[in-house]
A and B are shown apart, each in its own frame.
Chain A
Amino acid sequence: MAENSGTDPAVETNTEENAAASATIIKVTVKTPKDKEEIAIAEDSSVSQFKEEISKRFKAKQDQLVLIFAGKILKDGDTLGQHGIKDGLTVHLVIKTAQKSSSGSSQTSASSGPGPSQGNTAGTANPSPAGNLGTPQGSGPSPTPTQPPNILAGFGDLSGLSNLGMGSANFMELQQQMQRQLMSNPEMLSQIMENPLVQSMMSNPDLMRQMIVANPQMQQLMERNPEISHMLNNPELMRQTMELARNPAMMQEMMRNQDRALSNLESIPGGYNALRRMYTDIQEPMFSAAREQFGNNPFSALGGNTDNSGVQPSRTENREPLPNPWGPPDASAATTTTASGTATTTSSTTSSTTPSVSNPLGISSSSLGNGMFNSPGMQSLMQQISENPQLMQNMLSAPYMRTMMQSLSQNPDINPPPSGPAPAPAPTPTPAAGTNTAQQQLMQQMLQMFAGGNALTQTPEVRFQQQLEQLSAMGFINREANLQALIATGGDINAAIERLLGSQPS
């Protein structure tokens, strides 16, 4: 009598499953401390058959499974009926791990399969799910010992361009080195951050987005995980992220908070598994795909959205990468590993014609390639630039610069214009045509921005042409006001709309 008191098995009526002839299929919930799955099994099966199903679902070996129901351990020889396991009831599962290493890596999601087997770290080779997860975890942090945040990717482009004149050396390589340089010198980094040009660039979400998207790894990643592209498309998020990026202190804060949140997650049943999933789904490919930092930050901005395991729906679904267990620099870093091809092309055009800037550039041209950024000339240039934004502007405003940049942007190979006596040892291999166009666009935008900064060639109207059209299509007919709003928001349509709406008394 006791057994069926509350439950209403309706076993007999539950034939909606594969009407397996003799046995009725029941749905039993199998629960681990971290996870929960529903398994359909014939009512009269034995415990070992049940374990077989479970081992498939939980990806663990049968002999590692320990089933508990109503306080009793289910032995392989028993049947489900013996223990009174009926439809809708819950059986507890513990996945024993071969080793009993106690791990420290509790913070990280990736560590182990459900159950007390959290003991496994990346190190232990372990047949249980822990093993699979352990490895990616192990490999995850390792490739990223020192990775400058790829936030500078964009900046790298920028500096690359301005400093070298054409920056046509392999873009990626430039970026990489740029970043490394910057990372090693935090003051420089903050200086650069403060540079108004950089800031203005960063406040243009479209531009940032484009830059991110241009990175082929990012594209790949985006294909795999549509959430990422959603996130990138969300201007609010971008803005927030850029805020973060601008303020390293804030970023650290964010990261730390997120860390804490994540570690809290651990204790939530199902949360562990969520973390694990998040890790494998997102972070691993991200790490390995050398994602950019913005891939990271948007996640952190979402601040602890996690799983849908249903057990504790306290947060919404989102899979965050687990940025931080390995420390902020790693988390915020990305490998722009794409050292595709060689750095090439010189900046000889510039160097030959302008004594004023030729010095640094001259030096750099001689040491192009890997040593490029390490050259003292480069460094001094960087420093000069960061100290004196005006210098950068001046450099950029020089007409030859402009022409060069323009031709650069048009040149799909991002090689120096043929006019330059640049003996390019090897053409800059570009990832793909698609990326080229993206990069071109990027370049163009940047050029426009420079030009806009100089307020010479393009009026805001021209710049915001596209946005203006959009706004008028949306019904904002007051072109003047639109323009003002766009200027104020730097071309951000959504923000402009808000401004427009805010100013209207309705």
Chain B
Amino acid sequence: MQFSGANRRKLRLAGDQKNACYPHSLQFYLEPPSENISLIEFENLAIDRLKLLKTVENLGVRYVKGTEQYQSKLESEIRKLKFSFRENLEDEYEPRRKDHISHFILRLAYCQSEDLRRWFIQQEMDLLRFRFTILPKDKIQNFLKDSHLQFEAISDEEKNHREQEIIASSVSLSGAQLELESVYKIPFADALDLFRGRRVYLEDGFAYVPLKDIVAIILNEFRAKLSKALALTARSLPAVQSDERLQPLLSHLSHSYTGQDYSTQGNTGKISLDQIDSLSTTSFPPCMRQLHKALRENHHLRHGGRMQYGLFLKGIGLTLEQALQFWKREFVRGKMDPDKFDRGYSYNIRHSFGKEGKRTDYTPYSCMKIILTNPPGQGDYHGCPFRHSDPELLKQKLHSYKISPQRTSQILDLVKGTHYQVACQKYFEMIHNVDDCGFSLNHPNQFFDESQRILNGGKDIKKESVLPETQAKPGVQKTKDTSCALSSLNSSLEADMEGLEDYFSQ
């Protein structure tokens, strides 16, 4: 991709040629664009796509993906930002081109760290899933073929031979439907999301996937390819970043729009160990409160719990020395031999602080990570109580935390709708006695910081009588933040642009 200064040179293509570039309303972004565009367009495309991906993220948390509400809201956002999503009667070239170029620009901004990559991949996958599910049936086969996916449809004979098993394995497939649909034979490792949930029939290392389930496979493929591509992009990033025109934009993009990772040591040493018991009831989110209680009661936590809770404690400001003292004291109370602790457990604690092994400074887990990965098993206390606890037991727990029955049922409703983080926000509001927590929860350490901010004075936040305009719902609040950041981004870039214009006009 090459960039020109003030000159805008768009390739002018004939009508047919244009459509040939982008034959489908969606794509896998296999080939990078090869045009010249202006810096202004570069910047605008990037910001528009970022807005889109942020919307994808928010909608994914507030609504169940695939529902009517989710789809219509997402569709209107895509339409508003003029990206492609379905085939219309109008000229499709511009939206598809925009989609193509903006994706590659964001790769530059989001390849730089593991967290950024994960976020980017997740939103791009959700976007692709949406686009694929609204693709008309007759367009699917062509799209697959053009995307070079090696899916082999099995013969009718082979299909009949396994008819019972295929029907029994696929949740919504009936015998009549199977008659009409193709079934694809794919190596099991390529059908990860399907076989792990036992939603496909496996035989001798192959998954027999009906067409309707192909979307999961496609997403898997997409994720793998994009992940690899981001790793490659990261390697060529130094060359891109040395371009002074691009460097400020790219770093602004990734810093303004993703959450804090709570790995900075800015707040270390501010907490003392004897505060933890009381903090666990006043400022810890339920997931950490439960882990702390289990640790105090059993004088032990299994690995999943130690990781989740230990990193959280690091995020609230415990030093390595404090952490070692904290865990050792508790485990020794559980009749563990102090030497055994030193040998077996202290290494891992130092490891998670980045003092051993490959010395990665591990970051505290975000809500998404806790909700989506490593579900708890027997004897575990980690995970997200809103996601992983039985509703009955969750109810009892909230009762023990002195939440009223009426408010408890509000929370349980949100849980039923799988809005786990919003449920946790409700819990926050209840224990701090505010009407609106004023933030969109996505990290346990964020919960802690916001709680401390309220309890230790600072500004009077979000009380009904004081600041009426901040009664807005978390989602809207977020948009405000976004547009503020955007305008500051724009203004700083404008300043850069002015200098450039001068340069080129000399």
Judge: A and B partners, yes or no.
no
B interface with A by C-beta (< 8 Å): none
A interface with B by C-beta (< 8 Å): none
